[in-house]
Chain A
Amino acid sequence: MATDAPPPSKTEHRLPSTEEFARVQESAEFVELRRSYRSFAFPLTVGFIAWYLLYVLLSNYAGGFMGTKLFGNINVALALGLAQFLTTFLIAWWYARHAAAKLDPKAEVIKSRMEAAE
């Protein structure tokens, strides 16, 4: 699947001070990490919720359209329902890929520097 988790460690790391957290929060690196996370996750969330609601509304108010037969006994309603499954799987896979490529490396740099600093 996505990424292999780093080996678990039980050692307690140094917890940085509030000032260090505040400094890092304003650093260019962290701002970039936050942007790269939010600009991916937020619009995608709005998107899949809208797509799900569209499907719910179609099921409620567009019975005729949903009952249109596509092939054999498979109608639009069933095909759209299965499409919800498919898009859920695809979004999960897409996010995992984005996180592994764009988020994890940036997060790791910040984390290891903060935990190592004296």
Chain B
Amino acid sequence: MNTAAITLAAGEASEHRGLIISLFGVFVVATLVITIWAGRQTKDAADFYAGGRQFTGFQNGLAVSGDYMSAASFLGIAGAIALFGYDGFLYSIGFLVAWLVALLLVAEPLRNSGRYTMGDVLAYRMRQRPVRTAAGTSTIVVSIFYLLAQMAGAGVLVSLLLGITSDGGKIAIVALVGILMIVYVSIGGMKGTTWVQMVKAVLLIAGALLLTFLVLLKFDFNISDLLGTAADKSGHGAAFLEPGLKYGATGTSKLDFISLGIALVLGTAGLPHILIRFYTVPTAQAARKSVIWAIGLIGAFYLMTLALGFGAAALISPEEITSSNKAGNTAAPLLALHLGGVDSTWGAILLATISAVAFATILAVVAGLTLASSSSFAHDIYANVIKKGQASEKQEISAARWATVGIGAVSIVLGALARDLNVAGLVALAFAVAASANLPTILYSLFWKRFTTQGALWSIYGGLVTAVGLVLFSPVVSGKPTSMFPDVDFHWFPLENPGIISIPVGFLLGVIGTLMSKEEPDKGKYAELEVRSLTGTGAH
């Protein structure tokens, strides 16, 4: 890609740089005020980790949506639909259906039996130290992968939208995102993070609604007409509206799509940053209500990305989209510019608004991820493994705050180093690890009487090592032009997503580890967990 092509969209955008930066500045100032306010309300561990458990189901539903709808959902899916038509839409279906696993099997029992982290539930009836260590490890691995993808995405997005292409500029942006997330989480804790996510969800949904309305208005609300125009302009014709453009090329790519689909649908209910959100409401009923709201909001949002993606395909030439960003990540902002009118004030305002919403999206998600990993470090590893449960509440919160600074610093360094690598695959990897290492142990712990400590350890470490190991030797890391390291080739695993192997491995190892262990499961503890998870007796 030559420089002239890169700046095609960026050039249009950089004329409006001042406006974009001011709108973004307003969001940052507003969220910092919220953070400071929330910090003053944060007195004990339940405030820091769980926002005092006083949010309503609706508020938490908004925050869950804000935590979940990342830049990948907004920019990535709209872009994938704009370029690949129907295949882009396939992504969003897995992301949505996944919520039923959380609703039916995980959210309520977790709320009833845990306190602050995913590890609370995994370790409930097991030997604390080894299982907490495993849960903490997998929480931090999943969150860091996810975090890196978001931070690198922030660098790419900002450089495109603001026309910043220098290395120093990109590093500065990664550092800015990192510092903001450290401030949100270490000062505001769960309360601050929740409010930031709620504000972001409202902005994102409002932005998507506005663009959807404008797209439909252009086509007199005739959806068939919109689809037809998109198919014609895409250059693919009717194939644009059928499966196959992105994943249908070969037998391997089809298998990869199945693998991705399974990882998406089973991964969501094992993502630690999502799970800890259920502790912010007072009861299991409120946790249920949060998921119902989240399903409604996220579903509505993904339906709107259809209009955005097909709208972009219908109104903007594919060349213009790919010349701005090969993966189509700037399709939604470009659509805003075209809807308002290129070279018009309206176009500038719309572009700036949608760009600022995209920044807000990234900030809210990275804050949630940082909170999940620092909570798990402080509560699972520091308080329960290192201090063997003897840490005071004050020590625990202070450990969590320092962990936030540490994890933030590590992410800034890794994000800066990875700024030119293609790390988009890391989000799918995070889902695969969550589905392979976390979900089997959560389900067995809650529903399988015989499950033992050894089963939990085999399942967590086995799922984690298999998923990460396969990706290491997959085209995500080496061997293809789109790889993280395109110049070397040590890949032998053909698929980009390890889920189709690693998820069954995680589930199987849980069973084998249990059947082979010599220790008897703790019947009393299981009685406690089962009654508690279904009735809420003794819930925090």
Task: Decide: A5 and B285 in contact? CB cutoff 8 A.
Answer: yes
Summarize A's interface: helix, strand, loop or mixed.
helix
Q: How far is A74 from B224 in the complex, measured between Cα atoms in Å?
A: 6
Task: Decide: A22 and B527 in contact? CB cutoff 8 A.
Answer: yes
Q: How far is A44 from B532 in the complex, measured between Cα atoms in Å?
A: 23
A41: which B residues are within 8 A, CB to CB? Answer: 104-105
Give the nearest-CB partner of A62 in chain B: B243
Task: Decide: A5 and B57 in contact? CB cutoff 8 A.
Answer: yes
Q: B253-301: which have CB < 8 Å to A? A: 254, 257-258, 261-262, 265, 281-283, 285-286, 288-289, 291-293, 295-296, 299
Query: With A48-B100, A81-B93, A89-B295 known to touch, is A33 a contact of B535 (CB < 8 Å)?
Result: yes
Which of A49, A59, A75, A104 has the most chain B CB atoms closer than 10 A to its own CB?
Answer: A59
B486: which A residues are within 8 A, CB to CB? Answer: none
- Contact string, B98-120, partner A, CB cutoff 8 A, digits 1/0? 01110111000000000000000
Which of A44, A56, A95 has the most chain B CB atoms closer than 10 A to its own CB?
Answer: A56
A93: which B residues are within 8 A, CB to CB? Answer: 292
Summarize B's interface: helix, strand, loop or mixed.
helix
Task: Decide: B292 and A96 in contact? CB cutoff 8 A.
Answer: yes
Task: Decide: A44 and B523 in contact? CB cutoff 8 A.
Answer: no
Q: How far is A71 from B225 in the complex, measured between Cα atoms in Å?
A: 11
Q: How far is A91 from B102 in the complex, measured between Cα atoms in Å?
A: 12
Task: Decide: A77 and B100 in contact? CB cutoff 8 A.
Answer: no
Task: Decide: B258 and A5 in contact? CB cutoff 8 A.
Answer: no
A38: which B residues are within 8 A, CB to CB? Answer: 447
- Contact string, A87-118, partner B, CB cutoff 8 A, digits 1/0? 01101110110011001100110110011000
Task: Decide: A45 and B104 in contact? CB cutoff 8 A.
Answer: yes
In the complex, which of the residues B100, B223, B293 contacts A88, with contact meaning CB atoms closer than 8 Å? B100
A73: which B residues are within 8 A, CB to CB? Answer: 224-225, 227-228, 231, 241
Q: B512-540: which have CB < 8 Å to A? A: 523-525, 527-528, 530-532, 534-538
A59: which B residues are within 8 A, CB to CB? Answer: 90, 243-244, 247, 257
Place the interface of chain A in its size category: 35 or more
Give the nearest-CB partner of A4 in chain B: B285
B53 an interface residue at 8 Å Cβ cutoff? yes
In the complex, which of the residues A45, A81, A99 contacts B89, with contact meaning CB atoms closer than 8 Å? A81
Task: Decide: B224 and A56 in contact? CB cutoff 8 A.
Answer: no
- Contact string, A1-43, partner B, CB cutoff 8 A, digits 1/0? 1110110110001011011011011000010011001100100
Task: Decide: A85 and B534 in contact? CB cutoff 8 A.
Answer: no
B254: which A residues are within 8 A, CB to CB? Answer: 60-61
B244: which A residues are within 8 A, CB to CB? Answer: 59, 63
Q: How far is A54 from B303 in the complex, measured between Cα atoms in Å?
A: 21
Q: Size of chain B's interface in residues, with CB distance under 8 A?
A: 66
Task: Decide: B296 and A89 in contact? CB cutoff 8 A.
Answer: yes
- Contact string, B226-257, partner A, CB cutoff 8 A, digits 1/0? 01100100000011011110011000001001
Q: How far is A77 from B243 in the complex, measured between Cα atoms in Å?
A: 7
In the complex, which of the residues B228, B243, B534, B537 contacts A115, with contact meaning CB atoms closer than 8 Å? B537
Task: Decide: A111 and B536 in contact? CB cutoff 8 A.
Answer: yes
Query: With A25-B531, A41-B105 known to touch, is A8 a contact of B282 (CB < 8 Å)?
Result: yes
* B79 nearest CB across to chain A (Å): 18
Task: Decide: A71 and B224 in contact? CB cutoff 8 A.
Answer: yes
A6: which B residues are within 8 A, CB to CB? Answer: 282-283, 285
Task: Decide: A18 and B524 in contact? CB cutoff 8 A.
Answer: yes
B482 an interface residue at 8 Å Cβ cutoff? no
B54 an interface residue at 8 Å Cβ cutoff? yes
Give the nearest-CB partner of B299 in chain A: A85
Task: Decide: A33 and B285 in contact? CB cutoff 8 A.
Answer: no
Task: Decide: A53 and B531 in contact? CB cutoff 8 A.
Answer: no
Task: Decide: B241 and A18 in contact? CB cutoff 8 A.
Answer: no
B195 an interface residue at 8 Å Cβ cutoff? no
Give the nearest-CB partner of A85 in chain B: B299
B288: which A residues are within 8 A, CB to CB? Answer: 2-3, 96, 99
Q: How far is A52 from B147 in the complex, measured between Cα atoms in Å?
A: 28
Q: How far is A107 from B530 in the complex, measured between Cα atoms in Å?
A: 12
Task: Decide: B285 and A24 in contact? CB cutoff 8 A.
Answer: no
In the complex, which of the residues A8, A22, A85, A114 contacts B53, with contact meaning CB atoms closer than 8 Å? A8
Task: Decide: B283 and A8 in contact? CB cutoff 8 A.
Answer: yes
Query: With A73-B231, A95-B103 known to touch, is A52 a contact of B538 (CB < 8 Å)?
Result: no
A53: which B residues are within 8 A, CB to CB? Answer: 261-262
- Excluding A78-B241, A81-B89, A88-B295, 6 further A-B contacts by CB distance (< 8 Å) are A6-B282, A21-B532, A34-B530, A72-B223, A74-B223, A88-B97
Interface residues of A (CB under 8 A from B): 1-3, 5-6, 8-9, 13, 15-16, 18-19, 21-22, 24-25, 30, 33-34, 37-38, 41, 44-45, 48-49, 52-53, 55-57, 59-61, 63, 66-67, 71-75, 77-78, 81, 84-85, 88-89, 91-93, 95-96, 99-100, 103-104, 107-108, 110-111, 114-115
25 contacts between A and B (CB under 8 A): A2-B289, A3-B288, A5-B281, A13-B537, A16-B538, A21-B528, A21-B537, A34-B534, A41-B105, A52-B93, A52-B94, A52-B97, A55-B93, A60-B258, A63-B248, A66-B242, A67-B242, A71-B224, A74-B223, A78-B89, A89-B296, A92-B100, A92-B291, A96-B292, A99-B288
